[in-house]
Chain A
Amino acid sequence: MEFEELRKKANLIRKDLIKMLLEAGSGHSAGPLGMADIFTALYFDILNHDPKNPAWEERDRLFLSNGHIVPIRYVTMAHAGYFPKAKLKTLRKLGSDLQGHPERVRMPALETTSGPLGSGLAQASGYAYAARMDNKRFRVFCICSDGEHDAGNHWEAVLFAAKNRLSNLTVFVDRNNIQIDGHTEDIMPLEPLEDKYKAFNWHTLHINGHNMEEIIDAVNHARAVYEKPTVIIAHTIPGKGVDFMENMPEWHGKPPDTAQAKEALHELRTLGGKIVGEHE
């Protein structure tokens, strides 16, 4: 897919995300919106996968450590053809595969179960280690939040992946600077984050997490790195695409109400007022 097409796709995905969160009545807004571009790039360009055969042995594995942003994964997977978009309406509803936090047992294509923060990188590292034991060629990707860098379990995994030179592992850190209680640098300062990874013997990159070209280039770069795992620190704007949500920690853990969803959808449809909305 061309970069421009990917950008359009990401915008469509954002719209469906807002509708989905409104329908669910609970859930997270900021993180999923901020990661729409990276998920679009992953599912429509980067990942070697087959939506019609999710159990395909040679597929790349994508672990989502910060499970609370899973709505964006659900919407992107629906767009990629894993399941009908109609299913998105069941998010967080009784009996749905689309649990509030991802559960592998209910939907194997999610690769694992996550939600409690700080444990995804270790699982991805264990998976990458096991795959390397068997000389598997697929890559393991892991998406982490910046807030979960507060957790010891995450840094234990940073040590483990470096010790074992897991070059088949590529990590995206969603560096959006917010977490539930406020800004990351107020809660528990993480900077200089990239230097920390360097000091832990990781290969590091930093990108604008909304620039398709940079996202895809970074992964291509990571593929060429041997002997080290790669972390891509992706600077993102929480709530990206919806003016009143951008950079506001209070949108971490709540969905929009009807009026807010209407405003958000208007903004996404008009690309921030740059074009005239078709349905308004």
Chain B
Amino acid sequence: MINPKAKLSKKIFSKEIDMIPTRNGYGEGLVIAGEKNENVVVLCADLTDSTRSNYFKEKFPDRFIEIGVAEQLLATVAAGMANYGKIPFISSYAAFSPGRNWEQIRTTIAINDVPVKIGGAHAGISVGPDGATHQQLEDIAIMRAMPNIIVVAPADSVETKKATIEAAENGKPTYIRFAREETPVFTTEDTPFKIGRAETLWESKDPQVAIMGCGPLVYEALMAAKRLERVKIGCIVINGHTVDPIDEQTIIRAAKLAGAVVTVEEHQINGGFGSAVAEVLSRNYPVPMEYVGMPNSFGESGTPDELLEKYGMKSKHIVSAVKRVLKRKA
């Protein structure tokens, strides 16, 4: 059942649930962060509207810096500004930032330890018709491998807003990934959120499996838990929005209670959130695991729904993964 402490939306399993892209939460968060601290600046690489950086630009035109189609410049100019004392958010598509400017992020932001915030829009396969070049599915892997940078993949627009506001205040290099498509808004302003702490959203009395996810697919995990409840399979559902540093305690607790884990992410299975969970569990409490995510493949053009279906990242695929992992339980 839904964990009442998670204060999730009352409309969570209703058809009336609000559908808003996570990128809108980024744009709203930028404005609030900008109101709270005049040192917040936003830099964008010629994608101002689609990254929702325009919300900030309209409010604070003097603190918005257009960089042009140059993601390496985006990262390095921001590194200089952060070194001075500003709090720069850099906005582009995740395919280009951190896709194209990874070394600049490593050297001038992470080793340099300056608080640049990287906003990676259009992450995941759900970018849709743009095709493989624009569907960033490796960013969690390349960013979580890098020391000294926080990696957050919020689950809905409200959470993305909270992550953006908190990132402005944490004093650290931070990567926030978000998506293009409208996805269910299932958390609320009252849902607990803190970077670095995973939230338990669903917990059955006798859980047989823990489903852990990050990003908008956490909603699919909750849908799967609801379907599994009907066939008397108890679940724990964890929202692991912060991939690095990962919340080991919450993950280990859930694995101990459930004895099996399925991870869910709109990212390559190789090196992603599931790998991060596996690294925690293999050292602390090994249990059978299955992974829902991109199966070591690039994407293609199609509608988001068709792509999530084809590459196996919907609630029914999570249910299948649960059934597979349960068979492996001793």
Interface residue ranges, A against B (CB under 8 Å): 63, 103-105, 111-116, 118-119, 122-131, 133, 152-153, 156-157, 159-160
Query: Which residues of the partner chain B approach A129 to less than 8 Å between Cβ atoms?
Result: 65, 77, 80-81
For A131, the closest partner residue in chain B by CB is B84
CA of A43 to CA of B108 in the docked complex: distance in angstroms? 24
**The residue from A103, A105, A125 contacting B80, defined by CB atoms under 8 A apart:** A125
Contact A157 B73 (CB under 8 A): yes
| CB 8 Å contact bits of B49-69 with A (1 = contact, 0 = none) | 000000000000011010110
Q: Can you list the 7 inter-chain pairs with the closest CB atoms, starting with the nearest?
A: A126-B80, A122-B76, A126-B77, A156-B73, A123-B80, A127-B80, A130-B84
**The residue from B72, B73, B83 contacting A111, defined by CB atoms under 8 A apart:** B83
Query: Which residues of the partner chain A approach B111 to less than 8 Å between Cβ atoms?
Result: 103, 105, 113
Q: Does B86 contact A (CB under 8 A)?
A: yes
Closest-CB distance, A82 to chain B (whole angstroms): 19
Contact A122 B72 (CB under 8 A): yes
Contact B76 A153 (CB under 8 A): yes
Contact A126 B78 (CB under 8 A): yes
Contact A123 B108 (CB under 8 A): yes
Contact A119 B72 (CB under 8 A): yes
Query: Which residues of the partner chain B approach A160 to less than 8 Å between Cβ atoms?
Result: 67-68, 70, 73, 77
Contact A130 B86 (CB under 8 A): yes
CA of A100 to CA of B122 in the docked complex: distance in angstroms? 38
Closest-CB distance, A148 to chain B (whole angstroms): 13
Closest-CB distance, B148 to chain A (whole angstroms): 9
CA of A276 to CA of B277 in the docked complex: distance in angstroms? 70
Query: Which residues of the partner chain A approach B112 to less than 8 Å between Cβ atoms?
Result: 103-105, 112-113
**The residue from A104, A133, A156 contacting B83, defined by CB atoms under 8 A apart:** A104
Query: Which residues of the partner chain B approach A104 to less than 8 Å between Cβ atoms?
Result: 83, 112-113
Q: Does B170 contact A (CB under 8 A)?
A: no
Query: Which residues of the partner chain B approach A133 to less than 8 Å between Cβ atoms?
Result: 41, 62-63, 86
Contact B81 A130 (CB under 8 A): yes
Closest-CB distance, A154 to chain B (whole angstroms): 10
Contact A122 B107 (CB under 8 A): no
Contact B83 A114 (CB under 8 A): no
Q: Does B85 contact A (CB under 8 A)?
A: yes
What are 12 pairs between A and B in contact, CB < 8 Å?
Answer: A104-B113, A112-B79, A112-B80, A126-B76, A126-B83, A128-B80, A129-B77, A129-B80, A130-B80, A131-B84, A153-B73, A159-B68
Given contact pairs A126-B79, A160-B68, enumerate 10 new A-B contacts (beta carbons under 8 Å).
Answer: A105-B111, A105-B113, A114-B107, A122-B72, A124-B80, A126-B78, A129-B77, A129-B81, A153-B73, A160-B77
Closest-CB distance, B147 to chain A (whole angstroms): 12
Interface centre among B85, B103, B112 (most CB of A within 10 A): B112
For A115, the closest partner residue in chain B by CB is B107
For B77, the closest partner residue in chain A by CB is A126
Q: Does B9 contact A (CB under 8 A)?
A: no
Q: Does B191 contact A (CB under 8 A)?
A: no
Closest-CB distance, A259 to chain B (whole angstroms): 36
**The residue from A125, A130, A153, A159 contacting B104, defined by CB atoms under 8 A apart:** A153
CA of A76 to CA of B118 in the docked complex: distance in angstroms? 36
Closest-CB distance, A105 to chain B (whole angstroms): 5
CA of A159 to CA of B113 in the docked complex: distance in angstroms? 26
Contact A113 B72 (CB under 8 A): no
CA of A202 to CA of B107 in the docked complex: distance in angstroms? 27
Contact A127 B108 (CB under 8 A): no
Contact B81 A127 (CB under 8 A): yes
Query: Which residues of the partner chain B approach A123 to less than 8 Å between Cβ atoms?
Result: 76-77, 79-80, 83, 108
